[in-house]
Structure 1
Amino acid sequence: MVKVTIWNEFLHEVENEKVRAVYPDGIHQALAKGIGSESVQVQTATLVQPEHGLTEEVLANTDVLIWWGHMGHDRVEDAIVDRVHQRVMDGMGLIVLHSGHFSKIFKKLMGTGCDLKWREAGEKERIWVVNPAHPIAAGLPEYITLENEEMYGEHFDIPAPDELVFVSWFEGGEVFRSGCTFYRGQGKIFYFRPGHETYPTYYNPEVLQVIKNAVQWAAPSGAATPVRGNHQPLEPIGAKA
């Protein structure tokens, strides 16, 4: 059983009627319904909850954290960002969606500005699978087509991904590295581009399949914890002249 926490600001849905019409219960609830299964236990957390819903107890019981944020990045407390960062370094998986590229936690983990081109014009996005052997691409067709999405374009100011799984093409001509993996400490991170709040992207079965696959990939593997610091020799050390 993989324990997943879905974090969402839950601001657009409260304040914007157009967004509320698409996600009446919030993006987090749409994702929870879309990825929950007998093998995935899902809970949700939002910005306005105490400690943003990401208490020590919640994070200690989270294998994979999914993060969607946009208009409230600056309202996330630095102490909570540090807490999440430490959990990732200790082995918790992190999946960052769409405008979460500008979140404090993603920028802290990347060490870069994470800026990009953007345009909201409801244009077609074609998400190409460029690493079909990767577990996150399991069960997918050659590409995913979204008829209406916000454009993100290069240059995307991130470190070179450890693995590139998806590349997007947009109707207006831009391309974007839309599915990137990174390893930080013992944790695995996946950034996935689509998911603008005014479009029903998180109801798309293929998009949900990507996120389901990413949850399984990012979950802690049980690998040995590295040992660091001053260390006693394993074998006798002979006297040196």
Structure 2
Amino acid sequence: MSTIRMTTTGTTPIGATPIGATRGAQGHAVVTDQIRPSVSSAPDAATGRPLPGQPVPPLQVSMVGGPCWRLCDQKPKHFTLVVAYRGAACGHCRDFLKAINDRLEAFQRRGVAVVAVSADSRAEAESFAEAAGLDRLAIGWGLKPERAQDWGIYMSAETGRPAAAGFICEFAMFLVRRDGTLQLSHVQSGPFLWPSVDEVLEAIDGMIARGPELTGDLTPETAGAAASRPGPRSIPGC
């Protein structure tokens, strides 16, 4: 499946010093500048993000109520779903993760392991998990900005309700194959587009049914080569 990268008004990928923020209709800060590390360490130099079919960056985070979680240790039948969320102050994240928590068996039946990670501190993550009733979903905390950048996750400074880390990770989802390569990513730069759990499960069903098919895996160089190929073309998934 393709890599979906969503951009919203008022945000830019990874910025330097927060200039200011206003409060949106849902009580979220709308950030006008973002946190930008000076050197890119993203795995693909052409796109600045992991590409479908390529190995994803390493991921290791501390867990609420347990030892550290490592992506390399996960061996589900099909995929590991990594959800980056904005942190304890985000009501949309709470609702989305609660829906996953309550339907975790539906993911497990499909051979999908799920983890949610944020830049929150241990205290913030523990309080969030308890208040939201996340008693089954694996919740990771302490995601570092360098690792978030490696994954192509947008980062913001929310001045209205400062996070202990000094930044928050914007919402993103990554579906990682059993062999550690990327199947699908959904990355957005602000808190304005929220998929439902039903839509996520439907997408997973479609990818399992179609097998190893990939889209969104071209670079400028390979896109040019693909355009020159003779013969009819089809668009996977359409």
By the TM > 0.5 criterion, same fold? no
Instruction: Give the structure with the higher percent helix.
Output: 1
Taking CA–CA contacts closer than 8 Å with sequence separation of 6 or more, which of the two structures ends up with the larger relative contact order? 2
Instruction: Give the structure with the higher percent strand.
Output: 1
Structure (1 or 2) with the larger CA radius of gyration = 1
- Give TM class, smaller chain: under 0.3
